[in-house]
Amino acid sequence: MADQKEENEVKGIEELISESKKNATPKISEKKVAEVFEEKMGKIRIQELEAVAQKEAASLGYSYINLVGFPINSESINSIPKDTALKQKVVCFVKTDEGVKIASTNPANPKLKEILDTLIKDTFTGKGEIFLTSENSLQSAIKLYEKFPPAREFVAGVQITGEELTALKKELKNFGILNARLNEEKNITQVIKILLAGALQSEASDIHIETEENKITIRYRIDGVLHVVATMPKKIWDLLDSRIKTIAGLMINVTEKPQDGRITMIMKETGNLEIRVSTLPTAYGESIVMRLLSSKIASLKFEDLGLRGKSYEDLKKQVERPTGMIITTGPTGSGKTTTLYAILSKLNNPETKIITLEDPIEYKLEGIAQSQIDHDKGYSFASGLRSILRQDPDIIMVGELRDLETCEVAVQAALTGHEVVSTLHTNDAAGAIPRFLSMGVKPYLLAPSLNAVIGQRLVRKIHDKCKIEAKPEPEQLAKIKEILEKLPPNSGYKIDLNKLKFYRGQGCDGCNHIGLKGRIGIYEIFTLNADIEKEILGGKTSEYRMAELAFAEGMITMAQDGLLKALDGITTIDEVFRVAE
């Protein structure tokens, strides 16, 4: 049927060309018709060649792959140097911890086995496969080398190795040693390596380098909280600033306006480290922030988020539904995007088309098509979401629902057979529905489209190696009992308020004497039921009323979830009240 349709289209174009020659003033120029004809014939020839390649793969015993439009990320394409790809007619289109997949127009080429063996050494499973692809498909993939330039060598060709990093990390046992090493080091390249090694040793997410009147202050953001880790003499600022800008691809002589760059630090033994660099003019020079993009966040499993009991079971059911909308709420830095990534990872499989719309894309997700909005080119969340719907997705992630237009498109998508996950800026889960209604979302569309709302915060975890019992003050204990007394009867939790036991970390070298290491989420989750839907359809509600209905359904609050985790020795009372009081 498809071949007959294409034959009819070609005949139609030929008739149009013939008719244009007869008419003195044709509706469309002969040149334009010829261009349309050539374009259509080109597509038909490509389809025929793909069919030939597919048959050839079957006859030779290889799997076939069409790479046109296949979501290949930077790490995968650059795992084979461009020169090798062109010479051996091969590209790597999948490279994850689970294995490697490469494609070639000549899969029997003996060199491909050597290339594959080299690549699978970096994976946990040691699995690899060679696919047959067409010449057109291969060339489509090779164009990605221009889109994803290879990782730049660290500091103009000086490569930091995993062994060197390990040695530095072992040496930097605490911030005191880090401060001493930074101030005694005379080589500016080594200073940057020490800064990065110290950040990795302490599992920092950001390095803040700030100029002041008489000194440079270095701060690490560890588990969401900034810590001053070192100060350095102001006289080295120009050298440090220039070197960081050089390796991040920024303009060295531009100091009066903000700049953004990126570094890929090559570490063969431990995997490449992506670093996003931002500079900002200040009164005494510039502020530099280096964000270390850890692959741990992108690979976090749904089961490891910190959800438990009824909350876990309720959300798991909603995540597994094929349609509807799941919203996570909270302020910036509360872990909303991490939760969405964990949900996508749980749903990710070859039979499911997942597309994301993000601002910006920070973590690459294998097998998921990720799209970044660009306000300068008019590519917003609303317009991007409309474009995504034409891509036949099963699941859509929208980085943030900021305005009525985006909300309306997301709601329509959820009502027309798609699962939509997104974030909304409200203080808690109960505030999400009043927020939607205040933006102008129609109640009769919101009620059937919304599956679940998540409110969340991140708390730091007690470092297990230095955990000791902690006794709360009488006033604090009274407050704890008041909160836990209000646990919903159907929440699944029963607490003996006369036997409360809490813990804290006393500090050691393993946690840089903070007593806390790592973070976990505390949550409040409600799913829609008949009473909540009825409230939405009324068109007017409040946070208080939504919280009341959610409580009746068995929802525990973030503060209650946090205190339950504190009773289990996971976090401290102070941490819970810091973020969820």
pLDDT one digit per residue (tens) for the chain, 581 residues: 545 555 555 555 555 555 555 554 455 566 665 566 566 665 677 788 888 889 998 899 999 999 988 888 777 888 888 888 999 999 999 887 567 899 999 999 989 988 888 787 655 556 889 999 999 899 999 988 887 766 544 443 345 555 666 677 778 888 888 999 999 988 888 898 899 889 988 889 999 999 999 999 999 999 999 999 999 999 999 889 988 888 888 888 888 899 988 887 766 555 567 888 999 999 988 999 999 886 666 667 899 899 999 999 999 999 999 999 999 999 988 999 899 999 999 999 989 999 999 887 777 788 899 998 888 788 888 898 999 999 999 999 999 998 999 999 999 999 999 999 999 999 999 999 999 999 999 999 999 999 999 999 999 999 999 999 999 999 999 999 999 999 999 998 989 999 999 999 999 988 989 999 999 999 999 999 999 999 999 988 999 999 999 999 999 999 999 999 999 999 999 999 999 97
The whole-number pLDDT of residue 179 equals 92
The whole-number pLDDT of residue 193 equals 87
Tally of CA atoms within 13 A in the half-sphere of 516 that contains its CB: 22
The CATH code that applies to domain 63-147 is 3.30.300.160
The whole-number pLDDT of residue 366 equals 82
The whole-number pLDDT of residue 559 equals 96
The whole-number pLDDT of residue 9 equals 54
C-alpha 310/C-alpha 320 separation (Å) is: 16
Topology annotation, domain 162-293: Beta-Lactamase (3.30.450)
The CATH code that applies to domain 297-580 is 3.40.50.300
DSSP H or E stretch at residue 454? strand 450-462
Where are the alpha helices (H) located in 172-303, listed in sequence order?
A: 175-184, 188-201, 237-248, 295-298
Are 261 and 187 in contact by the 8 Å Cβ rule? The answer is: no
The whole-number pLDDT of residue 356 equals 93
Q: Are strands 450-462 and 225-233 parallel, antiparallel or unpaired?
A: unpaired
Residue ranges covered by each domain of the chain? 2-47, 63-147, 162-293, 297-580
The whole-number pLDDT of residue 23 equals 53
List Cβ neighbours of 323 (8 Å cut-off, separation of 6 or more).
414, 415, 417, 418, 419
Are 94 and 131 in contact by the 8 Å Cβ rule? The answer is: no
- Of the candidates 121, 78, 519, the one whose C-alpha atom is nearest the C-alpha of residue 296 is 519
DSSP-assigned letters across all residues of 372-404: E-BGGGTB-HHHHHHHHHTT--SEEEES---SH
DSSP-assigned letters across all residues of 126-195: --EEEEE--HHHHHHHHTHHHHSPPPPPTTTT-PPPHHHHHHHHHH--SHHHHHHHHHH---HHHHHHHH
Are 90 and 115 in contact by the 8 Å Cβ rule? The answer is: yes
